[in-house]
Structure 1
Amino acid sequence: MTSRVLLVSPAMTASLRRAAFDDGDPLDASGAARARAAAGSLPAADAVAVSPGVRCRETAEALGLTVDDAPPELAGLDAGRWRGRTLEEAGAAEPEAVGRWLADPTAATPGGESVADVCARVARWLDALGPAGGRTVAVVEPEVVRAAAVHATAAPPSAFWRFDVPPLTRTELTGRAGRWNLRLGGPLIAG
């Protein structure tokens, strides 16, 4: 049986505009408007999941989705004390920690988690879906989309940074018997 997973990245927020680690901020006015404009553009799903963060829940709501689950495996990267900071700000305060974190996927953010941790938990979630079949739509943090792409392509966690995930885009995975195929993000609506 084939499982289909459609991952949707959240609409624009102030922290996304600043390229800052998520700090729980809501969608900004333009992000909410774009998400509402994309309502109805997604295929019917057997299940709808979200990352537990505010921006993913608000994006799902604006898209008109009824959420079934917010599994902890779909949470965005726990940035620890870098939460709300840009990478530049974190690097000015803790250059060695940022350098380590960017170079080594097993290095955790101070008080947070590593890229390898995110990749492992997203892989567990995907692999649990595999045998179930059907279509799942999930509005998830960009880090979750990256981790899913790493898993689908059997790439090492160091490839995580090679996948760009713009706001309000879709990435599709189809899988069976532990093997995933990947179709990378396209916009939900034109423009």
Structure 2
Amino acid sequence: MSAVTRLTLITHAITDAVQAARFPADEPLNPLGERSATKAGGLPGLEPGQVLCAPELRTAQTAKALGLTGTPEPALRDLDCGTWSGKSMDELPPEQLMGWLTDPAHRSHGGESLTDLLARVGTWLDTVAGTGDRIIAITHPGVVRAAVLYTLNSPAESFWRIDIPPLTATTLHHRSPAWTLRTTAHPLAP
């Protein structure tokens, strides 16, 4: 029997892009995000053996506010929105936005498609499965959605049906042969 791997995925605190429904660039937390992450403080009950962090500024700031120092993990990076980075949804041609929201393979923005993100996250989950580690990973809502879909073997078309708010924890366990969803979108701050 392989060891149980415990993975807690924590989404970064709020940013201006999240509040304004803009496609993210590598931006810092906004003042509300900073206050929320600081208020959440530490993570009682979580004893990480390993802390990983997506490479963006907002994830590093969230980790620091939570009292964690994370090792950068490129597989946890946010969805690459290509030429849409920094733009609001209102700035896009409606047919492109609709294509992106309905077709998981859509990539008119020149970045990653949702199927690319799902493949990247699935490959990473496979690499940490069965290690027996307790892992905390500070990342992005899209990465958490992808991990949940992978765990549940759900179709990519379900991506937008999962609500993962800022500063929430989603816990997965891996016991051979598969991942199990333990809890999803549990808020860290009241």
Q: Conserved in 2, the CA contact under 8 Å of 1:41 and 1:189?
A: no
Q: CA RMSD in A?
A: 1.2
Could you give the per-residue CA deviations for residues 93-125 of structure 1, whole angstroms, max 9, x where no partner exists? x33322222221111142111000001100111
1:65-144 to structure 2, matched below 5 A, reads 65-68=68-71, 70-90=72-92, 94-144=93-143
Find the residue that maps to 1:174 and give its secondary structure: strand
1:1-191 to structure 2, matched below 5 A, reads 1-42=3-44, 43-68=46-71, 70-90=72-92, 94-182=93-181, 183-190=183-190
Q: Conserved in 1, the CA contact under 8 Å of 2:37 and 2:189?
A: no
CA distance in 2, matches of 1:142, 1:54: 15
- Identity across aligned pairs (percent)? 39
Could you give the per-residue CA deviations for residues 106-154 of structure 1, whole angstroms, max 9, x where no partner exists? 1114211100000110011111111211210011011101100110110
| Number of corresponding residues | 186
CA distance in 2, matches of 1:73, 1:147: 12
CA distance in 1, matches of 2:73, 2:171: 19
Q: Conserved in 1, the CA contact under 8 Å of 2:13 and 2:62?
A: yes
Find the residue that maps to 1:131 and give its secondary structure: coil
CA distance in 1, matches of 2:62, 2:108: 27
User: Structure 2 stretches of 5 or more lacking a match?
Assistant: none
Q: TM-score, normalised by structure 2?
A: 0.93
User: Structure 1 stretches of 5 or more lacking a match?
Assistant: none
Q: Conserved in 2, the CA contact under 8 Å of 1:20 and 1:85?
A: yes
Which runs of structure 1 show a deviation greater than 6 angstroms over 4 or more consecutive aligned residues? none
Could you give the per-residue CA deviations for residues 68-95 of structure 1, whole angstroms, max 9, x where no partner exists? 2x222111110011101122222xxx33
CA distance in 2, matches of 1:178, 1:31: 37
Structure 1 residue 170, shift from structure 2 partner: 0.6
What amino acid does structure 1 have at the position aligned with 2:65? A
Find the residue that maps to 2:185 and give its secondary structure: strand
CA distance in 2, matches of 1:147, 1:81: 22
Q: Which moved more, 1:146-155 or 1:179-188?
A: 179-188
